[in-house]
């Protein structure tokens, strides 16, 4: 009776006695795609802008959606203030379209973010006075 049940079970589920050496070459190894920064959720990239045409790679990086831009504007500010204003206006319009954020810090740097990040601005900044001059 047990043998009859085993035969029925074997016919339904198939034989479990595989010769694995016969099937050793029947598989294909697939390499995963390698992506740069695949583990990173956000990339912070520094840029230096020396001419108005240097703004295009900055805008392209922002449009990717995962890049936070740190932009050094000192060379263009020293060279031509009108072109600097054009570049900053273009950057502002792109940030607005992407629902991102833009802010300046210091005299030489601008940070621009896509919509997943924002720049913290302290609303109540206290001035630190030197109390040692008494």
- How many C-beta atoms surround the C-beta of residue 68 within 10 A? 19
The predicted structure's pLDDT at residue 36: 58
Q: What sections of the chain are H helices per DSSP?
A: 2-13, 55-64, 74-79, 81-97
Topology (CATH level 3) of domain 43-113: Translation Initiation Factor IF3 (3.30.110)
End-to-end alpha carbon distance in the chain? 105
Over the stretch 25-78, which tens digit does the pLDDT of each residue have?
666 677 776 655 455 688 999 999 999 999 999 999 999 889 999 999 999 999
Residue 133 has pLDDT above 50, yes or no: no
* pTM higher than the cut 0.75: no
Over the stretch 79-108, which tens digit does the pLDDT of each residue have?
999 999 999 999 999 999 999 999 998 899
- Element at 58 (helix H, strand E): helix 55-64
Structural domain boundaries of the chain? 43-113
């Amino acid at each position: 009776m047990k043998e009859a049940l085993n035969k029925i079970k074997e016919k339904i589920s198939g034989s479990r006695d595989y010769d694995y050496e016969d099937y050793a070459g029947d598989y294909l190894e697939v390499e995963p795609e390698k992506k740069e920064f695949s583990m990173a959720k956000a990339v912070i990239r520094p840029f230096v802008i020396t001419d108005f045409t240097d703004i295009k790679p900055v805008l392209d990086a922002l449009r990717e959606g995962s890049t936070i831009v740190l932009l050094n504007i000192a060379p263009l500010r020293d060279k031509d203030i009108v072109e600097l204003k054009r570049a900053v206006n273009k950057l502002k319009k792109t940030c607005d379209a992407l629902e991102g954020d833009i802010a300046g810090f210091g005299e030489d740097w601008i940070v621009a973010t896509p919509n997943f990040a924002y720049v913290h601005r302290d609303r109540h900044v206290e001035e630190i006075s030197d109390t040692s001059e008494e």
